[in-house]
Amino acid sequence: MINNLIRNSVRFIVLVLLQVLIVQNIRLGSYIILFPYVLFILLLPFETPKLVVLFASFFIGLTIDMFYDTAGIHAAACTMIGFARYYILKLLSPREGYDPGLIPNVESMGPVWFITYSAIIIFIHHLFFFYLEIFRFDEFFRTLLRVLLSTIGTFCFVYIVQFLFYKADRNK
């Protein structure tokens, strides 16, 4: 339990720093904006209490808001996926349920499951984030395009980055 807490805190800090120091400087045009920090929420262990997930999401959102000067937008989008994660996990649950002690990554759940899971969550996050950021509907399709392209971009990034935390988890 304590071990888990430490591991997730480290992941929290690493991902926030990755987002703020490195990814923020990757500029791929105005349509692809990467937010791989959502990987933190994606990789929270299955048995984490849902309220803890919610608060953790809210907290990482606020932290990113602090750096991005977006005041509450990231927090709102993250809280949304923290909330949605519970239902998505339920929906994607295998017949015999999740094995305790696992975290939802490629290694434990297989690529197909992980791709479905992370794509849905990243899409919800980006949908919320970009529409809240623009806060009106008169650039509806442009924002939608931005959501789709950024989802693809973030997904690719997340898929690669989650291998970073791969080995540490196997060694436990």
Partner 1 sequence: MKNLLNFLYRNNFFFVFLLLEIICFLILIKNNGYQGSSLLNSSNKISAKVYEVEADAKEYLLLKDENERLAKMNTFLLNRIKLGYAAIPLKTYTVHDTLYKQEYEFMSGKAINSSVNKRNNYLTLNIGSAQGVTNDMAVITSDGIIGIVKDVSENFSSVMSILHKDVRVNCQLKKDASYGPLIWDGSDYRFSNLTDIPTHAKIKKGDTVITSSLSGIFPEGILVGFVESYEQRPNESFYTVKVRLSADFKKVNHVSVIKYNYKTERDSLEIKSQVQSDK
Q: Which residues bind partner 1 (CB under 8 A)?
A: 17, 20-21, 50-51, 54-55, 58, 61-62, 65-69, 71-73, 75-76, 79-80, 82-83, 86, 132
In terms of CB distance, is 66 or 149 closer to partner 1?
A: 66
CB of 1 to partner 1, least distance (A): 21
CB of 29 to partner 1, least distance (A): 22
Contact present, 155 and 119 (Cβ < 8 Å): yes
How many residues are given for the chain?
A: 172
CB of 130 to partner 1, least distance (A): 14
DSSP codes joined into one string, 63-104: HHHHHHT-TTHHHHHHHHHHHHHHHHHHHH--TT-PPTT--S
CB of 31 to partner 1, least distance (A): 23
CA angle 63, 100, 82 (to 5 degrees): 30
Encoded amino acid at 60, one letter: I
In terms of CB distance, is 66 or 88 closer to partner 1?
A: 66
In terms of CB distance, is 49 or 97 closer to partner 1?
A: 49
In terms of CB distance, is 22 or 144 closer to partner 1?
A: 22
